[in-house]
Structure 1
Amino acid sequence: MTRQTIIPISIFVLCMVLLMGCGGAKMGNEDTKPTMSDVDYEIIDIEELELKEKEEIVTWYDDVFDQEGVHSMDGTKGFSKYTYILIADGEKATGGYAIQIESMKGNEDEIRIVAKVREPQKGEFVTQAFGYPHLLLRINQDSRKILLEKQ
């Protein structure tokens, strides 16, 4: 090889090495949190469930609807192709309370639900009986951890 051929080849190889070295480097300040995306859900009326699902769901529902927190029944137990999520705010002395979903987002490890509890306004006519505000949701079968943030 002549000197005229070696110099351009050497420059080309050097440029390729530099380009490959720069492409794989990551900056230390990059955000490494998993990306959250919306999770599709539907609000379910317990009375409208299909008969094949209803017995197991109703038993679970009756056990947890009055217990404050987020509860889930994973469809992987064979009864359904869905996972049911019940958000409950515990016992209230009157009616007029309601739960609204502000957002439901998930990443590979968890589903994060942001819910708002509506309280009765001063002077509003409400049922004078104990109530248990809750909301039953259904998503496609999912075994991720479910977290609730109330506003």
Structure 2
Amino acid sequence: MKKQIITGVLVLGLSMSIVGCDTDGTDEPNNSGNQQENIEQGEEQEVKYEFVGDIPDNLIETINNIKNSKGYKVLEEDDDGTIVYIGVGEKPTGGYNIEVEKIDKKNDTINIEVKEISPGQEDMVTQILTYPSVVLKIKDEFENIKVTNSKGESFEKIETKS
């Protein structure tokens, strides 16, 4: 039993450290002469983004208020980028996760595809409610966001009372 708890805590800690890594999600922008032509034709463009590991204090309360809901929410916009929360809601145990699979931009819409991960039937998981989520800072300008999972299901925008 003690070994199971230690294993669960280690897995949870490793998962949290991987999700919290600050990493750039794209390569350098393509400066080819056809870039403007591609934008006008509505082709997919790469998006500059990073994972937010240390959530700013002013956003923690908002995240705590929306973490039960499946969906996405723009948390903050400034000159440095737009912070976006994506969550899958409350889950009954550990072992659930969310991973960003792809981010691109087409016609002023940021398209984010995520993969929802569930524990296997035989997996040892912590017996605690969890709220799998990811927080991104998108550094490109855009008008709209569309979030889908790898099955093509759309995430709804999370609305909060002002």
Work out the CA distance in 1 between the residues paired with 2:125 and 2:119: 7
Q: Gaps (5+ residues) in structure 2?
A: 1-39, 151-162
Show the counterpart of 1:147: 146
Task: Give yes or no for the alignment of 1:64 onto 2:72.
Answer: no
Query: What is the alpha-carbon distance in structure 1 between the residues aligned to residue 99 and residue 61 of structure 2?
Result: 24
Residue-by-residue CA offset, 1:10-58 (whole Å, 9 max, x unaligned): xxxxxxxxxxxxxxxxxxxxxx96111121211112xx25xxxx23222
- Give the fraction of aligned pairs with identical amino acids, expressed as a percent: 25
State the TM-score, normalized to the length of structure 2.
0.61
Answer whether contact 1:74 1:143 (CA < 8 A) is retained: no
* Pair 107,115 (structure 1): closer, same or farther in 2 beyond 3 Å: same
Q: Which residue of 2 aligns with 1:114?
A: 113
How far apart, CA to CA, are the structure 2 residues paired with 1:65 and 1:142? 26
Equivalents in 2 of 1:33, 1:114: separation in Å? 22
Structure number with greater Rg is 1
Q: Helix, strand or coil: the match of 2:136? A: strand
1:127 pairs with 2:129: no
Q: Which moved more, 1:54-63 or 1:88-97?
A: 54-63
2:51 to 43, 54, 57: 43
CA distance in 1, matches of 2:64, 2:81: 18
TM-score (norm 1): 0.65
* Residue number in structure 2 paired with 1:105: 104
Deviation at 1:97, TM superposition (A): 0.6
Distance in 1 between the 2:141 and 2:41 partners? Answer: 21
The alignment of Structure 1 onto Structure 2 pairs a total of residues equal to 111
Give the partner amino acid of 1:126: V
The RMSD of aligned alpha carbons is: 2.0
Q: Which residue of 1 aligns with 2:89?
A: 90
Misfit runs of 4+, over 4 Å: none
Larger proportion of helix: 1
Distance 2:68 2:135 in 1: 12
Unpaired segments ≥5 residues, structure 1: 1-31
Question: What is the Cα deviation at residue 136 of structure 1?
Answer: 0.9
Whole-Å separation in 1 of the counterparts to 2:113 and 2:76: 20
Query: What is the deviation of 1:105?
Result: 0.5
